[in-house]
Amino acid sequence: MAYLPREERRSAIIAAALRVIRAEGFGAVSARSVAQAVGGSPGLIHQHFPSVAELTAAAWRAYVAESLAEFDAAVQGSEVDPVAEFFANHLDPAQGEELGIWADAWAHALRHPAFAAVFADSVRELTDALRGSGAEVSDIEADRAVLLAIALAGMQRVAPERYTVARAASILDRWCAPGAQPPLS
């Protein structure tokens, strides 16, 4: 790997870890796999991150920050319904891999307690983003939307033949239709 200032190299390592996650899932993240993706050595990874768990958490935080920035850009100052935009990836067949990352992150959180706290923080960030987007939703409704989104992302990955885009649209209809009331309200 060519010389980069420390923060740029750290950012490049995080981006490489995210490429590994996107390509092979959270379980594939290792010092070796990320080193290969960044064009360096496992020692380089350990110079910047004391553990693979910390690297994985940093990659996830970067992914969530990127996702939240995209959501914010889509809804701020526009006529876009924030709740409909929040669920838009579930209704776009091209976004299946992105949804799969959320499902894999949840599974990773269940297996790795240190990551569970990071994942829980990201769920809170999503809830805060939805509430701050102009959508008129309570804390409970925002939590419900976020948890529904994550569960639906998981089921679209686990059973794609059952949880098709059309079925997701039907499930989300009460959330996304103009003037709709959230389910179980």
The better pLDDT of the pair 133, 182 is held by 133
Give the pLDDT score at 178.
Answer: 53
Give the pLDDT score at 112.
Answer: 96
Domain holding 10, by residue range, is: 1-50
Examine the domain organization and report whether 41 and 68 are in the same domain: no
Examine the domain organization and report whether 115 and 24 are in the same domain: no
Examine the domain organization and report whether 41 and 120 are in the same domain: no
Contact 13, 49 (CB under 8 A): yes
In this structure, what token pair is assigned to residue 179?
Answer: 């003037």
181 in any annotated domain: no
Is pLDDT at 171 greater than 80 in this prediction?
yes
Examine the domain organization and report whether 64 and 139 are in the same domain: yes
pLDDT in tens, 60-88: 999 999 999 999 998 888 888 888 888 88
Examine the domain organization and report whether 72 and 135 are in the same domain: yes
pLDDT in tens, 84-112: 888 888 888 888 888 889 999 999 999 99
Question: What's the gap between Cα 15 and its chain centre?
Answer: 14
Whole-structure pTM value: 0.86
Is pLDDT at 129 greater than 80 in this prediction?
yes
Total domains, the chain: 2
The backbone region for 48, taken as left when phi is positive above 0, alpha when psi lies in -120 to 50, beta otherwise, is alpha
Angle at 51 between CA 125 and CA 46, to 5 degrees: 120
Examine the domain organization and report whether 45 and 60 are in the same domain: no
